[in-house]
Structure formats: C-alpha cells, structure tokens
Amino acid sequence: MDQYKTIILGYPNWWGTFPMAVFTFLEEYEFAGKRILPFCTHEGSGPGESERDIRKLCPDAKVLPGLAIRGGSVKGSGDTIKSWILKNG
Ligand SMILES: Cc1cc2nc3c(=O)[nH]c(=O)nc-3n(C[C@H](O)[C@H](O)[C@H](O)COP(=O)(O)O)c2cc1C
C-alpha cells in the first residue's frame, strides 16, 4: 500500500453502506495522508452512509467527493465516470 497515494475504492451499496469486506480492508491498512476516491453502485440509495463510514474509519485520509451510479445504468455511464476521474486529478 505504501506505493499508492490515491486509492480508488469501489463497492456496491449494501444496506446503506459498503459490504463488511470493505470495512475490513479499510481497518487493516493505513490510509493516513492518502486520497480516497470512493465510487459505488446502488439500486436507489446512492452512496448512503458509505462516505461517512470511510471518514470514520480513515480519519486522516482525504476522502474526495464520490460517484454513485445505479447498477442498471452502469453500461451507459462511461462519460460520467471519465469526467469524475478527470475532475479529481
Ligand atoms: C445484500 C444487499 C443489500 C443491498 N442494499 C442496498 C441498499 O441499501 N441500497 C441500495 O440502493 N441498493 C442496495 N442493494 C443493491 C446493490 O447496491 C446493487 O445490487 C449493486 O450495487 C449492483 O451491483 P450488482 O449488479 O453487482 O448487483 C443491495 C444489494 C444486496 C445484495
């Protein structure tokens, strides 16, 4: 992980946040000083509480504004994803 300054973190929204495996990932590594760029798929709740949960688990990381895409719309979201990536450097 030391070699990464920006982590692009993807997950599905499960019960308003990310799945437990993602909690474990965020708990197990050190994210202080890194940028986290979250993106998720969902079926109506958007990111839910997931970005708040990332900030709680990684208080010393910089959590950038995330991207939430409805699962059924992923196929047609290439431009949205591209501009989100570019906007966040
Ligand atoms: C256990 C479980 C819980 C879910 N909870 C939510 C939820 O709270 N809000 C929501 O918008 N979608 C929820 N979903 C829908 C998933 O976010 C959606 O299926 C996924 O983002 C799309 O990815 P997929 O095509 O791999 O299923 C849930 C799905 C599962 C399986």
For 19-78, the pLDDT digits (tens) are: 999 999 999 999 999 999 999 999 999 999 999 999 999 999 999 999 999 999 999 999
Please choose, from the candidates 13, 74, 84, the residue with its C-alpha nearest in 3D space to the C-alpha of residue 46.
13
User: Given this model, what pLDDT does residue 89 score?
Assistant: 85
Our mutation pick for probing the ligand 1 site, out of 18, 22, 43, counting the most ligand atoms within 8 A of Cβ, is 43
Whose CA is closest to atom 17 on ligand 1? Answer: 42
Q: Where are the domains of the chain?
A: 6-87
Does the pLDDT value for residue 83 go beyond 90?
yes
Neighbours of 9 (CB within 10 A): 20
C-alpha gyration radius of the chain: 13
Phi, psi of 82 (to 5 degrees): -60, -45
Q: 6-87: what CATH class?
A: alpha beta
- The rounded Å distance from CA 74 to ligand 1 centre is 13
Please tell me the pTM assigned to this model.
0.94
